[in-house]
């Protein structure tokens, strides 16, 4: 209120008029009308604030011309991290640990139940174990993998649907800018594939150097698929469809798109990559290939962390699986004993 009262106060009278006023008072001539010549204004002319210096005026000018709609650069460490090191950026996960745990359990149960239902239905469709040709086995394998993929993905999307709308980088399949340096999905798929090849090759050399015994691989997936590899074009097409399309979509959505993303809510992104890679390797139930599968899962996870786009790990996984099938098919057609090659590798 001090400033407003200051504005209402009249300016001081001219000092030269004081003697006249005093004389008038002494002669008794001072009346109420004698003060009328003194100009009093309730709305005085605007005057510069007496205590505003040049520095303050510069600040006021800046405040007047500042555009509040302009976005400032990143000021917090988290915002700077998103720009400088996207591979360490976490996801904004809307669900808790209860949902994450129950979803993974539901995926495992649905995987097992779908396989049991398929095994019980096949005899009624006329497919007996000893009477099925190799092409029919390949077709049954493709149909079974398709059913498992549809059921498990339905479980995941059905549970997470209650949390919609989800952030843009959760379950993201974005085809745009495949070769951009920061987050190009195809560029980083190539980088991740090369890194996985180098890491697995070095691990194979180390295991061969420090281990005298060859691991038993009778339960490995490739050993079980050997009768179908190179048997016919239909079998090869079905195997490529299973290993190069359906399996990558299913496994990357489960282990990277859901499990790894969920873990970033509680642990740093590199830790979530390693945990999901270990679960990925264990889920294949092939102890002889655990080191290779773990390194492959780590390469898939770090590539996905860089782009936040599921097309990146799916592409790596697809090229890896289908490349192995096509290479073994070629060697089989050339007369090589691929079983012996796999046992020696």
Establish if 261 belongs to a structural domain.
Answer: yes
If asked whether residues 8 and 100 sit together in one domain, one would say no
Task: Verify that 149 and 8 share a domain, yes or no.
Answer: no
Same domain, 41 and 181: no
Domain match, 34 and 107 both? no
The pLDDT-based confidence of 12 (bands split at 50, 70, 90) is very low
Write out the residue range of the structural domain in which residue 138 sits.
96-344
Is the same domain home to 211 and 103?
A: yes
Q: Which of 269, 324, 293, 289 is nearest to 92 (CA)?
A: 269
In a domain, 85, yes or no: no
Residue 268: left (phi > 0), alpha (psi -120 to 50), or beta? beta
DSSP state of 74: P
For residues 179 and 308, membership in a common domain is answered with: yes
- Name the packing angle between helices 311-333 and 233-241 (round to 10°): 160
Question: Is 89 part of any domain?
Answer: no
Model confidence at 211: pLDDT above 90: no
In this structure, are residues 170 and 261 in contact, taking their beta carbons and an 8 Å threshold? yes
105 and 38, same domain (yes or no): no
Q: What is the pTM of this model?
A: 0.74
Task: Decide if 61 is inside a domain.
Answer: no
CA proximity to 277, closest of 262, 290, 264 = 290
- Using DSSP's 3-state secondary structure scheme, residue 128 falls into coil
Model confidence over 168-209: pLDDT tens digits? 999 999 999 999 988 999 999 999 999 999 999 999 898 888
Lowest mean pLDDT among 9-23, 166-180, 214-228, 286-300: 9-23
pLDDT in the model for residue 29:
42
Closest CA to 253 of 156, 188, 112: 156
Asked if residue 338 and residue 194 are part of one domain, the reply reads yes
User: How many domains does the structure of the chain reveal?
Assistant: 2
Q: Are residues 143 and 2 in the same domain?
A: no
pLDDT at 76 over 50: no
Q: Which of 9, 28, 45 is the last residue of a domain?
A: 45
Q: For residue 228, is it within any domain?
A: yes
pLDDT over 60 (residue 75): no
Instruction: Confirm whether 111 is domain-assigned.
Output: yes
Q: Is residue 87 in some structural domain?
A: no
Q: Tokens 């790990």 correspond to what residue? A: 313
Are residues 168 and 20 part of one domain? no
Separation of alpha carbons 250 and 217, rounded Å: 24
Position 304 pLDDT exceeds 90: yes
Mean pLDDT of 110-124: 93
Least confident of 12-16, 41-45, 102-106, 333-337: 12-16
Q: Are residues 109 and 205 in the same domain?
A: yes
Our CA angle for 149, 90, 254, nearest 5°, is 10
Same domain, 111 and 259: yes
Are 216 and 288 spatial neighbours (Cβ–Cβ below 8 Å)?
yes
Q: Is 146 part of a structural domain of the chain?
A: yes
């Amino acid at each position: 209120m001090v400033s407003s009262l200051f504005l209402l106060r009249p300016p001081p009278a001219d000092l030269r008029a004081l003697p006249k006023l005093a004389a008038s008072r002494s002669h008794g001539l001072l009346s109420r009308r004698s003060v009328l010549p003194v100009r009093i204004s309730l709305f005085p002319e605007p005057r510069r604030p007496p205590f505003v210096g040049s520095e303050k005026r510069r600040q006021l000018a800046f405040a007047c011309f500042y555009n509040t709609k302009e976005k400032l650069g990143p000021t917090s460490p988290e915002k700077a991290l998103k720009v400088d090191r996207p591979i360490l950026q976490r996801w904004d996960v809307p669900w808790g640990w209860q949902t994450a745990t129950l979803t993974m359990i539901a995926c495992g149960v649905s995987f097992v139940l779908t396989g049991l239902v398929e095994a019980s239905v096949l005899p009624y469709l006329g497919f007996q174990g000893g009477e099925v040709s190799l092409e029919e086995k390949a077709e049954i394998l493709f149909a079974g993998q398709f059913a498992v993929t549809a059921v498990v993905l339905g479980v995941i999307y059905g549970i997470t649907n209650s949390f919609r709308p989800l952030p843009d980088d959760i379950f993201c399949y974005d085809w745009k800018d495949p070769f951009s340096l920061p987050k190009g999905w195809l560029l980083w798929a190539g980088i991740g594939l090369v890194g996985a090849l180098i890491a697995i090759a070095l691990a194979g050399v180390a295991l061969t150097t420090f281990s005298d015994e060859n691991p038993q691989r009778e339960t490995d997936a490739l050993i079980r698929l050997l009768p179908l590899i190179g048997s016919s074009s239909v079998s090869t097409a079905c195997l490529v469809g299973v290993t190069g399309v359906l399996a990558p979509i299913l496994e990357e959505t489960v282990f990277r798109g859901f499990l790894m993303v969920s873990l970033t809510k509680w642990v740093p992104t590199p830790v979530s990559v390693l945990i999901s890679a270990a679960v990925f390797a264990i889920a294949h139930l092939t102890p002889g290939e655990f080191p290779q599968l773990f390194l492959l899962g780590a390469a898939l996870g770090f590539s996905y962390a860089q782009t936040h786009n599921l097309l990146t790990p799916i592409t790596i996984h697809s090229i890896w699986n289908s490349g192995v099938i096509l290479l073994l098919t070629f060697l089989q057609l050339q007369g090589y004993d691929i079983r012996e090659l796999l046992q020696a590798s």
